[in-house]
Amino acid sequence: MIKNDELRKYQMDRQDVKFSIRKKILGVTLVAALPFLAISIYLLISMSNYNHTYNKIVQNLTIANNYNLDFKEEMDESLYKMVVGYVTVDDFDDAEELKSPYVLIKNLRKEFRNLKKITTDTESKLWLDSLLRNIDTLENRVDDLVQNIHVGGTYDSNIKELDDNIYILTELIQDDIQYYIYYQTESMEKVTDTLNTQIRTFIIICACLIAVLTIGLVMAVMQITTGMLRPIQVLAQAAGRISKGDLDARADVDSRDEIAVLADRFNDMAGNIQTLVVKVREDEQKMRKADLRLLQEQINPHFLYNTLDNIVWLIEGNEPDEAVEMVVTLSEFFRLVLSKGKEFITIRQEEQHISSYLQIQEKRYHDILDYHIYIDPEIYEYQIPKLTLQPLVENALYHGIKYKRSRGMIEITGTKEGENLYLTVADDGVGMDEDELKKLGKEISRPCKETESGFGLANVNERIRMYFGAEFGMKIWSEKGSGTRITIEIPAITDNPEKPEAGKQSTRSEEAENEAEK
Residue 37: CATH number of its domain = 1.20.120
CA angle 21, 27, 30 (to 5 degrees): 145
Residue 477, SS3? strand
- Residue 21 is predicted with a pLDDT of 47
- Residue 380 is predicted with a pLDDT of 92
pLDDT for 10 beyond 60: no
Contact 50, 188 (CB under 8 A): no
- Annotate 133-198 with three-state secondary structure: HHHHHHHHHHHHHHHHHHHCCCHHHHHHHHHHHHHHHHHHHHHHHHHHHHHHHHHHHHHHHHHHHH
Residue 235 maps to a domain = no
Pairing of strands 408-417, 369-375: parallel
- Residue 292 is predicted with a pLDDT of 43
- Residue 225 is predicted with a pLDDT of 64
Residue 197 maps to a domain = yes
Q: Is the dihedral of CA 446, 451, 453, 459 positive or negative?
A: positive
Q: Can you state the percent helix, strand and coil of the chain, rounding each to 5?
A: 75, 10, 20
Contact 300, 307 (CB under 8 A): no
pLDDT band at 490 (very low <50, low <70, confident <90, very high): very high
Pick from 8-12, 209-213, 339-343: least confident: 8-12
Mean pLDDT of 177-200: 76
Element (H, E) at 256: none
- The more confidently predicted of residues 373 and 442 is 373
Range ranked top by mean pLDDT from 47-56, 125-134, 230-239, 377-386: 377-386
- Residue 472 is predicted with a pLDDT of 92
For the CA atoms of 261, 264, 268, 273, what is the dihedral angle to 10 degrees? 90
- The more confidently predicted of residues 248 and 31 is 248
One domain, residues 75 and 168 = yes
pLDDT for 415 beyond 70: yes
Q: Got the DSSP string for 362-389?
A: HHHSTTTEEEEEEE-GGGTTSEEESSSS
Number of neighbours of residue 152 by Cβ within 10 angstroms: 7
Residue 31 maps to a domain = yes
| CA-based end-to-end distance of the chain | 48
One domain, residues 436 and 351 = yes
For the CA atoms of 279, 282, 283, 286, what is the dihedral angle to 10 degrees? -160
Residue 273 maps to a domain = no
One domain, residues 52 and 140 = yes
One domain, residues 206 and 287 = no
- The more confidently predicted of residues 501 and 146 is 146
Residue 481 has φ and ψ, to the nearest 5°, of 85, -10
- Annotate 391-430 with three-state secondary structure: HHHHHHHHHHHHHHCCCEEEEEEEEEECCEEEEEEEECCC
User: Residue 69 and residue 91: Cα distance in Å, rounded?
Assistant: 25
Residue 183 has φ and ψ, to the nearest 5°, of -75, -30
How many structural domains does the chain have?
2
Cross-strand bridge partners of residue 375: 414
One domain, residues 301 and 172 = no
Q: 462 lies in which domain range?
A: 282-517
The percent of residues in the chain predicted with pLDDT above 70, rounded, is 72
Last residue of a domain, one of 179, 211, 243: 211
- Residue 377 is predicted with a pLDDT of 92
Element (H, E) at 489: strand 483-491
- Residue 503 is predicted with a pLDDT of 39
Mean pLDDT of 345-363: 86
Residue 374: CATH number of its domain = 3.30.565.10
Number of neighbours of residue 288 by Cβ within 10 angstroms: 15
- The more confidently predicted of residues 461 and 16 is 461
Residue 483, SS3? strand
One domain, residues 368 and 489 = yes
Residue 257 maps to a domain = no
pLDDT band at 301 (very low <50, low <70, confident <90, very high): low
pLDDT band at 506 (very low <50, low <70, confident <90, very high): very low
Element (H, E) at 474: strand 473-479
Mean pLDDT of 455-469: 82
One domain, residues 151 and 298 = no
The percent of residues in the chain predicted with pLDDT above 90, rounded, is 11
Mean pLDDT of 237-265: 76
Number of neighbours of residue 49 by Cβ within 10 angstroms: 14
One domain, residues 289 and 203 = no
pLDDT band at 113 (very low <50, low <70, confident <90, very high): confident
- Residue 508 is predicted with a pLDDT of 41
- Residue 424 is predicted with a pLDDT of 96
Last residue of a domain, one of 186, 211, 236: 211
Cross-strand bridge partners of residue 409: 370
Contact 187, 124 (CB under 8 A): yes
Residue 243 maps to a domain = no
One domain, residues 143 and 31 = yes
pLDDT for 14 beyond 50: no
pLDDT for 501 beyond 60: no
- Residue 485 is predicted with a pLDDT of 95
Spatial CB neighbours of 90, under 8 Å, sequence gap ≥ 6: none
Number of residues assigned to the chain: 518
User: Residue 314 and residue 317: Cα distance in Å, rounded?
Assistant: 5
- Residue 338 is predicted with a pLDDT of 64
pLDDT for 115 beyond 50: yes
One domain, residues 204 and 302 = no
Number of neighbours of residue 121 by Cβ within 10 angstroms: 13
Burial of 116 (0-12, 13-18, 19+ CB in 10 A): middle
Residue 266 maps to a domain = no
pLDDT for 15 beyond 60: no
- The more confidently predicted of residues 410 and 253 is 410
One domain, residues 102 and 184 = yes
Contact 106, 135 (CB under 8 A): no
Mean pLDDT of the chain: 75
- The more confidently predicted of residues 380 and 264 is 380
- pTM for the whole thing? 0.44
In tens, the pLDDT along 131-173 reads 888 888 888 888 888 888 777 767 778 788 788 788 888 888 8
Contact 354, 265 (CB under 8 A): no
C-alpha separations of 148 from 129, 156, 176 in Å: 29, 11, 28
Last residue of a domain, one of 190, 211, 232: 211
One domain, residues 299 and 408 = yes
User: Residue 491 and residue 385: Cα distance in Å, rounded?
Assistant: 12
Residue 54 maps to a domain = yes
CA neighbours closer than 13 Å in the CB half-sphere of residue 4: 0
Rg (CA), the chain: 44
In tens, the pLDDT along 79-107 reads 777 777 777 777 776 666 777 788 888 88
